[in-house]
Amino acid sequence: MKTLIVNADDFGFTEDVNAGIVHAYQHGILTATTLMANGDAFADAVRLAKENPGLDVGCHFVLVGQGHSLVPPYKNLPPSVPRLAAAAYSGKIDIEAELEAQLRRIAAAGIQPVHIDAHKHTHLLPPVLDAIVKVAYRYGIRFIRRPFDLPIGYLPQGTPLSRRPTAMGMQLLRKRFARILASGNYRATDYFAGFQITGCFGTSDLVRVLQDLPEGSTEFMTHPGFCEEPLRKAHTRLKESRVAELEALTAKEVREAIEQNAIRLCGYRQLLSPHDAFAA
């Protein structure tokens, strides 16, 4: 069976991004999203999540690029992956405390996530992944994103040339990632897609992804949204592309491709089994 989780990152980033994510859920193929605890529109996202209980809301850990630290005395975390890595290995950042604070804020808002991912895939960094599995255990979270893209024989026009070698480089951490998840009995989907075509795909590209979907479970990462004043002012390269992704996720051709290829849409919660609870 082909099972697909369509996840939107950046829930809580801006109110127009939030509105786009909910629109993709209500009118398209989106099934899940991951929430930024330190996003400017966090409260708005929590409200929308409670109004749409069928939307599977997880946690989008943010350690670089956006937001601010929730743990004193850090006012701002390093803005780049290399700086984060250096700070983590030197002990200048208590990553576990920061992740715990982010997850605690989500839980305190009445949302109990069952899946985790991280902004810019920073959970591939060994010290970040090591901290994530500890925090996930305490909150009973089973699923951690497997961020290794399916092989893609084509890339949409406008895709940055760096995407393919970056995706290949990420594969170097695959064995350690699998070992860490297995050692703690964590779970991930069988496959993952969306990294290489983020911000570059349209309806026809998404249809092609669906046609090539393998048997088993796959997470497809997306970044839909409306592009209004809050997003235009935000520090992100993904702006108008969010509208294009939203249009693709709600397109008639995409819904038809789901049916034609016998794809089952679901959230992470639907993949849980009675054996997925941590021992107390």
Contact 122, 147 (CB under 8 A): no
Model pLDDT, residue 75: 55
In order, the DSSP letters of 44-76 are: HHHHHHHH-TTSEEEEEE--SSSS--SSTT-SS
Model pLDDT, residue 199: 87
For residue 205, count other CB atoms closer than 10 A to its CB: 20
Tell me the two tokens of residue 16: 């127009």
Model pLDDT, residue 276: 60
Model pLDDT, residue 142: 92
pLDDT, tens only, 90-129: 777 788 988 999 999 999 999 999 999 999 898 998 999 9
- Report the distance separating Cα 17 and Cα 33, nearest Å: 11
- Which residues of the chain, if any, have pLDDT below 50? 278-280
Q: Helix 42-51 to helix 15-27 angle, to the nearest 10 degrees? A: 20
- CA distances 44 to 40, 41, 135, 154, 189, Å, are 9, 5, 25, 37, 29
Model pLDDT, residue 278: 46
- Report the distance separating Cα 189 and Cα 192, nearest Å: 7
Q: How far is CA 242 from the centre of its chain?
A: 14
Model pLDDT, residue 171: 84
Query: Residue 260 contacts by C-beta under 8 Å, 6 or more apart in sequence?
Result: none
The enclosing H or E element of 228 equals none
Amino acid at 197: I
Model pLDDT, residue 274: 60
Q: What are φ and ψ of residue 163, in 5° steps?
A: -60, -45
Single pTM value for the model:
0.91
Closest to 32 (Cα-Cα) out of 51, 2, 12, 9: 9
Amino acid at 179: R
Closest to 242 (Cα-Cα) out of 18, 2, 12: 18
- Report the distance separating Cα 205 and Cα 256, nearest Å: 14
Tell me the two tokens of residue 189: 């989907």
Residue with tokens 């991951």: 34
